[in-house]
């Protein structure tokens, strides 16, 4: 019992030294209550609410111990001591006080331990077993006999900081009292030097290992390991934080680089468009510019989308690592290309219109001569001669149109030019031809919109002749199907149909329109 009191006094002094105090033994050291209150304040990290003074009599001592008792009740669940135990200090009182001290050890040093699902003393033993694993002459099953030879303490010191001392003791291992005492004395010094754990036990511990004292000392060693682990964890946290910051900066730089590349590309493309001069072939140039706008817009929008994806990746990375999101204010200015393309398209359309007007004016010179001949001769010839005259001027009309022309001879030059312009196209639509014929004859039977809705397109002069060779007629007045949703290509259908033997074109037209 004397040994355990000595070791607990050492533990108490390891706490009191923080406030510059110490005791020699429990009965004398805690007799007046002042050191006891100081000890409890250090352990609980709470100040005593009452003001204490050096006592002059037993009543004042009891007052000090009453203050200590109030503090102790908040620190342990079942307080088994009172002020008189500390004042009297007989062996039974000391025994109760030592039990109270161990209750404090358990509460402040042991209860918070949890290893592999085991808490308190069991968890502490498991930790000691795992920490000393693979060390010879160490087999921890309890907190008494398993520690008597000092090898377990040397193994803990070796696990914390290898010094070679453990290997030396393994080579020279002897399980006798002298060797055991020497190893324990050596171990506590190594632990003090390596871990700064106070030497609360000494060589005498080898003769009578006490479980409460052993638990107290081992729990102090455990705390030293935890401090190092926390330092390591803090170091790892700092290194991880720095690594995450560097990664974030790298991702941010990539986003900025992609943004400035895109912005520079947009600015360069705008300058190119501002300097644009059209080529000679305007129609090809127009198609080229349309394709350029489509391809360039797709390229720029794809790059812009890639930047947005990179931003999402960066912010997700920052969220995952408890970092604040970045808020970006990026002006891509891709839309600034649109006014330049619009200007170029307007320029090309204007030039194409001007070019067509010049060509049309040249044609009018030729057509004027033809029109004058037609206008002067038309009234003096009969229907057959009129037909020959129209054919000689590149007109290829059916009987319906010829009859209309013959009956209505009022034809002006504007109508004539419109017909000639339509007929000179290599490939022209039946819509344009028939509308032109109707305008020329002043006997239009259908509007342009009706022709368009009927789907009459893709007809050439040669194909019209081919239809006439089949003794067929394109009966415009019968086109009465503007409601037809699917437009029909007459010529294509007819070409497919004429390959069949005995085709009747008149019946074919009737099937299409009626």
Q: What is the pLDDT along the chain (514 residues), one digit of tens a residue?
A: 468 999 999 999 999 999 999 999 999 999 999 999 999 999 999 999 888 888 889 899 999 999 999 999 999 988 999 999 999 999 999 999 999 999 999 999 999 999 999 999 999 999 999 999 989 999 999 999 999 999 999 999 999 987 777 788 888 888 899 999 999 999 999 999 999 999 999 999 999 999 999 999 999 999 999 888 777 777 777 888 888 889 999 999 999 999 999 999 999 999 999 999 888 888 888 899 999 999 999 999 999 999 999 999 999 999 998 888 888 877 878 888 999 999 998 998 898 888 878 877 777 676 666 556 555 555 554 555 555 555 555 554 444 444 444 444 444 555 555 555 554 543 334 444 444 444 444 333 334 443 344 333 443 334 433 443 332 333 333 333 333 323 334 444 444 544 444 445 445 444 444 4
Give CA angle at 299 (298, 305), nearest 5°: 85
SS3 320: helix
In whole angstroms, give the CA distance from residue 408 to residue 259.
71
Structure tokens at 388: 């020959």
Domain end among 109, 134, 153: 109
pLDDT for 509: 46
CA angle 427, 431, 436 (to 5 degrees): 90
Residues 136 and 105 in one domain: no
Enter the tokens of residue 429.
Answer: 């639509």
Whether 40 maps to a domain, the answer reads yes
Query: Would you state the structure tokens that stand for residue 5, as one six-digit string?
Result: 């009191």
Residue 361, in any domain of the structure: no
The answer on 133 and 79 residing in a single domain is no
Same domain for 72 and 59?
A: yes
Instruction: Verify that 325 and 247 share a domain, yes or no.
Output: yes
Kindly state whether residues 162 and 81 are assigned to the same domain.
no
- Number of helices and strands in the chain (H, E): 21, 2
Query: Which residues are paired to 114 by β-bridges?
Result: 119
| pTM for this model (two decimals) | 0.53
In this structure, is residue 412 part of a structural domain?
yes
Q: Is there a single domain that holds both residue 428 and residue 487?
A: yes
Q: What share of the chain is helix, strand, coil (3-state, %, to 5)?
A: 70, 0, 30
Q: Report yes or no on 230 lying in a domain.
A: no
DSSP codes, 208-258: S--HHHHHHHHHHHHHHHHHHHHHHHHHHHHHHHHHHHHHHHHHHHHHHHH
For 310, the domain range is 243-332
Tally of domains in the chain: 4
- Whether residue 388 sits in one domain with residue 306: no
Which secondary-structure segment (H or E) carries 118?
A: strand 118-119
Last residue of one domain, picked from the residues 291, 314, 332:
332
**Residue 338: inside a domain, yes or no?**
no
Same domain? 429 vs 467: yes
Residues 198 and 129 placed together within one structural domain of the fold: yes
DSSP state of 44: H
- Asked if residue 173 and residue 288 are part of one domain, the reply reads no
Give the phi and the psi of residue 470 in degrees, each rounded to 5: -90, 10
For residue 403, what pLDDT is reported? 44
Query: Is 195 among the domain residues?
Result: yes
- CATH number of domain containing 95: 1.10.418.10
Residues 190 and 283 in one domain: no
The whole-number pLDDT of residue 435 equals 46
State how far the Cα of 113 lies from the Cα of 125, in Å rounded to an integer. Answer: 10
Q: Say which residues have a Cβ less than 8 Å from residue 455's Cβ, sequence separation at least 6.
A: 484, 486, 487, 488, 489, 490
Cα(102)–Cα(216) distance, integer angstroms? 8
Domain end point (choices 57, 84, 109): 109
Question: Is the residue at 404 inside a domain?
Answer: yes
Say if 413 falls within a structural domain: yes
| Confidence at residue 213, expressed as pLDDT on a 0 to 100 scale | 96
Please check whether residues 99 and 189 belong to one and the same domain.
no
Six-digit token string for 478: 């019968």
The 10 Å CB-count burial string (b at 16+, else e) for 45-59 is eeebeeebeebeeee
Phi/psi for 118 (5° steps) reads: -100, 140
- Contact between residue 134 and residue 124 where contact means Cβ atoms under 8 Å apart: no
């Amino acid at each position: 019992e004397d040994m355990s009191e000595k070791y607990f006094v050492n533990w108490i002094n390891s706490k009191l030294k923080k406030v510059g105090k110490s005791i020699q033994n429990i009965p004398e050291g805690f007799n007046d209550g002042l050191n006891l209150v100081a000890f409890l304040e250090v352990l609980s990290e709470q100040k005593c609410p009452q003001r204490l003074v050096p006592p002059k009599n037993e009543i004042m001592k009891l007052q000090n111990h009453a203050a200590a008792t109030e503090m102790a009740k908040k620190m342990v669940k079942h307080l088994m001591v009172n002020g008189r135990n500390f004042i009297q200090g007989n062996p039974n009182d000391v025994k109760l006080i030592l039990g109270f001290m161990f209750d404090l050890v358990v509460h402040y040093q042991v209860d918070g331990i949890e290893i592999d699902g085991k808490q308190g003393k069991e968890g502490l033993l498991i930790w000691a077993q795992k920490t000393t694993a693979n060390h010879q002459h160490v087999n921890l099953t309890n907190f008494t006999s398993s520690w008597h030879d000092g090898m377990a303490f040397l193994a803990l010191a070796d696990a914390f900081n290898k010094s070679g001392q453990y290997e030396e003791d393994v080579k020279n291992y002897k399980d006798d009292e002298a060797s055991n005492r020497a190893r324990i004395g050596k171990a506590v010094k190594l632990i003090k030097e390596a871990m700064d754990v106070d030497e609360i036990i000494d060589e005498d511990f080898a003769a009578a290992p006490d479980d409460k004292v052993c638990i107290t000392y081992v729990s102090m060693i455990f705390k030293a390991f935890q401090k190092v682990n926390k330092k390591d964890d803090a170091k790892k946290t700092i290194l991880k934080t720095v690594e995450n910051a560097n990664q974030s900066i790298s991702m941010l730089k990539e986003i900025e680089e992609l943004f400035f590349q895109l912005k520079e590309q947009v600015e360069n493309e705008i300058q190119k468009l501002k300097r644009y001069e059209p080529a000679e072939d305007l129609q090809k140039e127009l198609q080229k510019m349309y394709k350029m706008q489509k391809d360039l817009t797709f390229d720029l929008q794809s790059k812009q989308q890639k930047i947005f994806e990179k931003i999402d990746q960066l912010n997700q990375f920052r969220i995952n690592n408890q970092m604040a999101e970045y808020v970006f204010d990026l002006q891509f200015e891709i839309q600034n290309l649109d006014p330049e393309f619009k200007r170029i398209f307007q320029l090309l359309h204007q030039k194409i219109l001007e070019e067509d007007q010049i060509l049309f004016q040249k044609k009018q010179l030729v057509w004027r001569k033809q029109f004058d001949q037609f206008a002067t001769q038309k009234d003096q010839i009969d229907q057959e001669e009129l037909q020959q005259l129209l054919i000689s001027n590149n007109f290829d009309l059916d009987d319906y149109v010829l009859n209309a022309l013959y009956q209505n001879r009022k034809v002006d030059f504007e109508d004539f030019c419109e017909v000639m312009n339509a007929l000179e196209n290599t490939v022209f639509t039946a819509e344009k031809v028939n509308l032109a014929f109707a305008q020329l004859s002043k006997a239009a039977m259908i509007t342009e919109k009706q022709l368009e809705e009927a789907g009459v397109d893709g007809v050439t002069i040669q194909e019209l002749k081919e239809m006439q060779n089949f003794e067929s007629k394109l009966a415009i007045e019968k086109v009465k199907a503007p409601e037809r949703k699917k437009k029909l290509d007459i010529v294509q259908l007819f070409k497919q149909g004429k390959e069949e033997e005995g085709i009747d074109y008149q019946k074919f037209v009737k099937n299409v329109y009626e």
